[in-house]
Structure 1
Amino acid sequence: MFEFSYNEVIDDSRQVMRARERGAMDRVIDMLRTARDRGAKSREAIEGLYYLRRLWAIFLEDLRNPENELPEQLRAGIVSIGIWMNREIDRVLSGQTNDLTPMIEINEIIRDGLK
């Protein structure tokens, strides 16, 4: 029988969670790249933007959870990015901008930080 310490199990859980977060970020980045190529009014753009909004809603909910172990200042910074992301989504959906590149780049930076 295998014996694992509590910390090993917790570390594995965190690694699994980060891998899932990276996978979700990879998916949304791919969706946004396709949307950028097809145009901000394309079906792919709408689907990508709504997926992005749902993903950030999950992140924001987790960041607001008092049990979140990230340092408070880091959480606040990521929450600010999430608020910005939602504003940018609204700007694209309302036709104020067609530029998806800033959202792609910010999500790439965050994804790369999950390694």
Structure 2
Amino acid sequence: MSLRAYQQAAQRSESPRDAELRLFGQVTRALVEAAAAPENDFKTRIEALDWNRRLWSALATDCSDEHNALDPSLRAQIISLSLWVNRHSSLVMRKQETFDALIDVNRMIMQGLSGRAEAAAA
């Protein structure tokens, strides 16, 4: 890694919320690209769906920890969404559903993480 790249990385300090927002952005972009890919491009479709499932699974695992500081009802909602993402992803792979709902849910989460949902409610 070059010195300049290291300095830029060191200067960049993300809050956990910012890191989650960035990760959701990357995963959602992969879902959008997979949705636009040809139906026979299984690699692109599977990788995007798997990445999204792993993200939601990690969130659910974190929310199931009794020491998690989030409100218990919010934690339960996130776990519920994770279960839905898993089921819906299977339907997408079987071509019984589209990527649209997964993309929409991720975008809503991103709005919440960015604070835009709070600004819209005010």
TM over 0.5: yes
Identity %: 31
In the alignment, which residue of structure 2 is the partner of 1:100? 99
Higher relative contact order at CA 8 Å, sep ≥6: structure 1 or structure 2? 1
Structure 1 runs, 4 residues or longer, greater than 6 Å off = none
Per-residue CA deviations over 1:19-69 (Å, capped at 9, x if unaligned) read 111111001110011011114542211110010111111101100011111
CA distance in 2 between counterparts of 1:86 and 1:77 reads 14
CA contact (8 A) 1:40 1:100 kept: no
Q: What is the total number of aligned residue pairs between the two structures?
A: 101
In the alignment, which residue of structure 2 is the partner of 1:113? 112
Residue 96 of structure 1 deviates from its aligned partner by 2.4
Normalised to the residue count of structure 2, the TM-score between the two structures is 0.76
CA distance in 2 between counterparts of 1:39 and 1:110 reads 27
CA contact (8 A) 1:49 1:89 kept: yes
Gaps of 5+ in 1: 1-12
- Cα RMSD for the two superposed structures: 1.6
In the alignment, which residue of structure 1 is the partner of 2:27? 28
Normalised to the residue count of structure 1, the TM-score between the two structures is 0.80
Moved more, 49-58 or 15-24: 15-24
